[in-house]
Structure 1
Amino acid sequence: MTQDAISCELHDFVEVACMYGYQLKLILKNNQIIEGKAIDIVNSPAKQECLVIDSASRQHIELTQLAKMQVLTPNAKFNEVVFE
């Protein structure tokens, strides 16, 4: 069975990061690290929810691929979220 979505609680953290334009450090399940500004959540052509992050260029990261999201912006509403 594959995971098609993240929990509503975790989704809310991603939405807050986008709403405030937080600088993020994302650690993916494959241990890839991506840093950049949270922009939006969109659906891919394959109907996967993706976080749009602006680093050197805009990237679309499937929410189901997130392992950890660290907020680099000072005084943020939260500091770190672990996706299980």
Structure 2
Amino acid sequence: MDDYQPLACDLYDYLEIACLHRYRLDIELVDGARLQGQALNTETTASKEEFLLVRTAEGEQRLRMDRLLAITPLDAGASFGRVLLSGNRC
């Protein structure tokens, strides 16, 4: 795996909000893949890599945050719309 590139702090806040409200998200990955899942939590490893934990139809998944291109809440009344994450690193 290549070196982890942390998200800008203001973008990280959107992931925290999504987890707090357990939003269902449409998640776009930088490799072109797309999935839908419920935001559960964020996690930081001892090596400072950050992950978004989501529940999908296939079960829980850990998505490395620097692999996320964009997130879009699917819940009505969500407090934000599509957020572009890729290219916005610390």
User: TM-score, normalised to structure 1's length?
Assistant: 0.91
Aligned counterparts of 1:5 and 1:47: Cα–Cα separation in 2: 9
State the partner residue of 1:20: 21
Aligned counterparts of 1:46 and 1:53: Cα–Cα separation in 2: 21
State the partner residue of 2:54: 53
Higher RCO, 1 or 2 (CA under 8 Å, sep at least 6)?
Answer: 2
Unaligned runs of 5+ in 1: none
Aligned length: 84
Aligned counterparts of 1:79 and 1:31: Cα–Cα separation in 2: 20
Note if contact 2:4-2:49 (Cα within 8 Å) is conserved in structure 1.
Answer: no
Aligned counterparts of 1:7 and 1:47: Cα–Cα separation in 2: 14
- Aligned-residue CA RMSD (Å): 1.7
| Distance change >3 Å, CA 51–CA 11, structure 1 → 2 | same
Aligned counterparts of 1:24 and 1:45: Cα–Cα separation in 2: 27
Aligned counterparts of 1:45 and 1:60: Cα–Cα separation in 2: 15
Shift of 1:34: 1.3
Aligned counterparts of 2:13 and 2:64: Cα–Cα separation in 1: 15
Note if contact 2:25-2:37 (Cα within 8 Å) is conserved in structure 1.
Answer: yes
State the partner residue of 2:83: 81
Q: Residue 31 of structure 2: SS of its match in structure 1?
A: coil
Q: Residue 13 of structure 1: SS of its match in structure 2?
A: helix
User: TM-score, normalised to structure 2's length?
Assistant: 0.85
Q: Which stretches of structure 1, 4 residues or longer, exceed 3 Å deviation after superposition?
A: 44-47
